[in-house]
Amino acid sequence: MRTHQPTAGPSIAKRTGTIRIKGAGWCRHLLALWTVSLFGQGLLAQYACAWDFPFDPGFEETAYDAGLNFWWDGYDGNPDARSQDPAHPDYTPTVFYHHPITHSGTWVAWFGGWQNGLEEWQYAWQNVVLPSGGPRYLNYWLYVGEAPDRPSLLQVEVRTADGMSTCLTSQDPSTLPQDTDYVQQSLDISSCANGGQGDVIFTFHYSGGGARDGYILLEDVTIDPTPDSSWP
């Protein structure tokens, strides 16, 4: 069982905000205004410029622990996982949690962490625009608080919408040393950056049969022209 108490995040029903973005040749700030119609059936969004990397890099737009995020999709397949949204306890649980160990902000994508020995698949993904015209890197920050006790999978994938190109990296997190701080990771996605849409997908799989599924935190996902992230 995860030990910290469920924490409510910002409401995702109605909000106005400024979301920072970065990238060569693109605006540095995105002004977004969105409202929900009177009956909650329609969503109006107005954007000051285009975007070329995941919205909400640090998962701050999450509603509740294991709850919905405005920009990211998530899934936690551990049998003990439950949505902590009191209004929607039947929602499919996600991997987005308020957490005391962050690279920025107060929210993370949390892989593993249940320590019940049960098999699980966990995902975080977002559909984005993959900008063309130069080198592109998917940069992100990982914190390995504890490695799983059995061979497992941690995979990062960028897949074009037409299915013609896939850029990915995978590793067995059971072989990783424990971190004392977040470590930046980078994946060259230049061959996938065709100017069209694509999916950024993070996958964790624990095969079960042991006692501990590890403790891995993901933060601050960006697409940049260099393998060095300056976020936030």
Question: Taking the model in full, what pTM does it have?
Answer: 0.80
197 three-class SS: strand
pLDDT tier for residue 44 given thresholds of 50, 70 and 90:
very low
Residues 189-207 have pLDDT tens digits of 999 999 999 999 999 999 9
Residues 96-121 have pLDDT tens digits of 999 999 999 999 999 999 999 999 99
Cα dist from 53 to 78, 194, 197, 222, whole Å: 29, 13, 10, 6
Q: Is pLDDT larger for residue 164 or for residue 218? A: 218
pLDDT tier for residue 230 given thresholds of 50, 70 and 90:
low
pLDDT tier for residue 11 given thresholds of 50, 70 and 90:
very low
* Residue 77 CB neighbour total at 10 angstroms: 17
113 three-class SS: coil
What pLDDT is attached to residue 82?
Answer: 93
191 three-class SS: helix
What pLDDT is attached to residue 207?
Answer: 95
What pLDDT is attached to residue 48?
Answer: 30
Of all residues in the chain, the percent with pLDDT exceeding 70 is: 77
Say if residue 23's pLDDT is above 50: no
| Residues 214, 171 contacting (CB under 8 angstroms) | no
pLDDT tier for residue 50 given thresholds of 50, 70 and 90:
very low
Q: Which of the residue ranges 34-38, 58-62, 115-119 would you say has the lowest mean pLDDT?
A: 34-38
| Residues 38, 13 contacting (CB under 8 angstroms) | no
Q: Domain residue spans in the chain?
A: 52-224
Mean residue pLDDT across the chain: 80
What pLDDT is attached to residue 10?
Answer: 34
What pLDDT is attached to residue 2?
Answer: 57
Q: What is the CATH number of domain 52-224?
A: 2.60.120.260
What pLDDT is attached to residue 43?
Answer: 37
Residue linked to tokens 């409401």: 11
